[in-house]
Amino acid sequence: MPDTGAATDEAPLAILYRDDHLVAIHKPAGLLVHRTALDRHETRFAVQLLRDQIGQHVWPAHRLDRGTSGVLVFALDADTAGRLGQQFEAQTVAKRYVAVVRGHPPESGLIDHPLTRQRDDNEWVDPGAQTAAQPARTTFQRLATIELPIAVDRYPTSRYALLQVAPETGRKHQIRRHLKHISHPIIGDATHGKGRHNRMFAAHFGCQRLLLASTDLWLDHPVSGQRLHLHAAPASDFMALLDHFGWRAALQIQSPPL
């Protein structure tokens, strides 16, 4: 079984599902889905690597942040790409993530907080245009907690939690922005997180990645109509941390409502 940790030049992408119409991979943390203006120096992208690996063109059906690992779906033709895109736009695709966050959030909750649109790198933006916030909803369930005897900030101990997270809408960086909004940012998030906690995880646990993983995705097959459940356990580097905290047994991901 191929390792699904950080991307390397030698390791092939781990294929979770493939048929004549679509293919799903376990995207490693640190790998861009496609080229962006902000990362001109990068030469490796999931689109390119998968195309070369399977010998045919691919169309990404959705996106994962560079730092996020997990389930990523591609169409194998333009018509299938359009059908998959319609499902994501209609919000009939269900997604589940796991994240390690700062603090101890409630056992469960709904974050209903509008988010301003974050433009893509190649989109032209009128500097004078006003961007209205868009509705955004994310549910979460607390799976496990820990309190470490490590001083961070002004406290003698530090608290962290493992969450299962389900975005009901698909705003850019929604999970990361929503968890910051409730003051439980994801560990390893350099943009929306807390630098002191990120540095502590790097120093004590050798963890320098964003601790967010797309573990489950449900969609209707664009040709057969069958409901597909695509699953990827957290990558090896992510699992090593969960094992260290004794959290492996907490990874009991529940299916979404029918």
- Residue ranges of domains in the chain: 14-118+133-243
Radius of gyration of the chain (CA): 18
CB 200 within 8 A of CB 158: yes
| Burial degree of 156 (CB within 10 A; 0-12, 13-18, 19+) | exposed
Q: Please identify which of the residues 20, 52, 65, 120 carries the catalytic annotation.
A: 65
Residue 123 confidence (pLDDT): 41
Contact 252, 133 (CB under 8 A): no
**In angstroms, rounded to a whole number, what is the distance separating the alpha carbons of residues 172 and 190?**
16
Give dist(CA 45, CA 246) in Å, integer.
34
> Which residue type is seen at 106?
P
pLDDT at residue number 154: 85
Structural tokens at position 131? 């961007």
Q: How many residues does the chain have?
A: 258
Kindly state which CATH superfamily the domain 14-118+133-243 is placed in. Pseudouridine synthase (3.30.2350.10)
| 3-state helix vs strand vs coil in the chain, percent to 5 | 20, 30, 50
Task: Mark whether 65 is an active-site residue.
Answer: yes
* pLDDT per residue of the chain (258 residues) written in tens, 0 to 9: 344 444 445 689 999 999 999 999 999 999 999 876 555 566 689 999 999 999 999 999 999 999 999 999 999 999 999 999 999 999 999 999 999 999 999 999 999 999 998 755 444 444 544 578 999 999 999 999 999 999 998 889 999 999 999 999 999 999 999 999 999 999 999 999 999 999 999 999 999 999 999 999 999 999 999 999 999 999 999 999 999 999 999 987 665 655
What does the alpha-carbon distance between residue 81 and residue 22 come to, in Å, rounded to a whole number? 9
CA distance 128 to 48: 36
Here the tokens at position 121 are: 């790198």
pLDDT at 34: 83
Specify the pLDDT at position 41: 63
pTM: 0.89
pLDDT of residue 4: 44
At residue 137, the pLDDT reads: 97
Cα(6)–Cα(50) distance, rounded to whole angstroms?
Answer: 16
CA distances from 204 to 33, 117, 151, 186 (A): 30, 36, 12, 17
